[in-house]
Amino acid sequence: MNDIFAMNRPALQDFLFSQGMKKFRADQILHYIYKEHIYDWDDMLLLPRSDRTLLKKELPLYVPAVVAKQISGDGNTVKLLLELIDGQTVETVLMKHDYGNSVCLSSQVGCAVNCAFCASAKNGFIRNLTVGEMVSQLLAFRKYVTADLHSIVLMGTGEPLLNYDNVLAFMRLIHEKETLYLGYRNMTLSTSGIVPAMDRFSSEGLPVNLAVSLHAPNDRIRRRIMPVAGTYALKDILAAADRCFKATGRRITFEYILIRDVTCTPDCATQLVRLLAGKNILVNAIPVNDNYDVGLHRPEKKQIDDFYRYVKDHGVHITLRREMGSGIQAACGQLRSKRRKERV
């Protein structure tokens, strides 16, 4: 099926021409969708009625339906569970920051990476999302919540670099002037450390921010909580991250999960400093989410503070993630898993 949300201006022009329509109608259609937030052919009144009738048949406009919605108490986090055209569901989260709204997107239905602390893979990997399905997550927020968008992060369900071609095409598409015109520097791609794909991404030359899921200071602990560590060693991931920094000029962020008695210990803090001190990187420390029972527990506040202070005082740039949505199951896969349990 043709998907208009996967089409840039030339692709849409070609499609319209193949249907006997004028190419200039592509500009009108894209303006309706991306500038006026109109997602119904009947409301695009500049188009001739005959064109609208044909387009409804040949190029359906499908913005995913909201099957579940959660809003944090402070109103700064909104999570949607969206139903795709084949009935599969994906999660996407809007986070309101001082600098603007950021949307966390999914790149796959389910996930094959199967990190121990993440709910995304608990129901298995289903399939990759298409370019249009990733775009439609953004359009769903524009339709149901707000049209204001500052940035996107590909940190939702799935490993983006295992859906490489679609993810790259998606980023290029929303960068185009006729669509969302979102700057590459306002995009962040997160990866568990798929080294060959990291190198391929570096060669694209796009100034997109890269966030690497480090989550442990050594291979032994990393293998315990991230099965992908059995394929890609820490030293190889760090080397690939260095190559990416040199290629893009964008500082790499290392995501680091804080798990009581596993990754948030004095010894882990010492090893992390030894691993990263002196590098032009940022560590984003994330206390594990206790809302999903994975047998891994959030450290005490003092443990978190001591870990953070030690790493910072020893020359590593580190931030403690501002928690948004912890009360509404905003972490990856939680809302989808909850809905599946309720339907069983």
Q: Which of 210, 194, 202, 235 is nearest to 155 (CA)?
A: 210
Q: How far apart are CA 325 and CA 328, in angstroms?
A: 5
Q: Which residue in the list 104, 111, 268, 332 is annotated as catalytic? A: 332
Say if CB 253 and CB 281 are below 8 A apart: yes
Beta bridge partners of 95: 77, 102
Within 10 angstroms of residue 136's Cβ, the number of other Cβ atoms is 26
Q: Which of 81, 53, 52, 87 is nearest to 69 (CA)?
A: 81
DSSP single-letter state for residue 69: E
255 classed as catalytic: no
Helix pair angle (234-248, 195-203), 10° resolution: 10
Say if CB 118 and CB 332 are below 8 A apart: yes
Q: Which of 318, 227, 230 is nearest to 268 (CA)?
A: 318
Q: Is the dihedral of CA 7, 166, 97, 251 positive or negative?
A: negative
Q: Is the dihedral of CA 304, 306, 307, 312 positive or negative?
A: positive
332 classed as catalytic: yes
Ordered strands of the 89-97 beta sheet: 65-71, 77-83, 89-97, 100-104, 151-154, 187-191, 209-213, 252-258, 281-287, 318-320
Instruction: Identify the residue whose tokens are 């996930």.
Output: 111
Q: Is the dihedral of CA 274, 277, 280, 284 positive or negative?
A: positive
Q: Which residue in the list 58, 83, 91, 159 is annotated as catalytic? A: 91
Active-site residue list:
91, 332
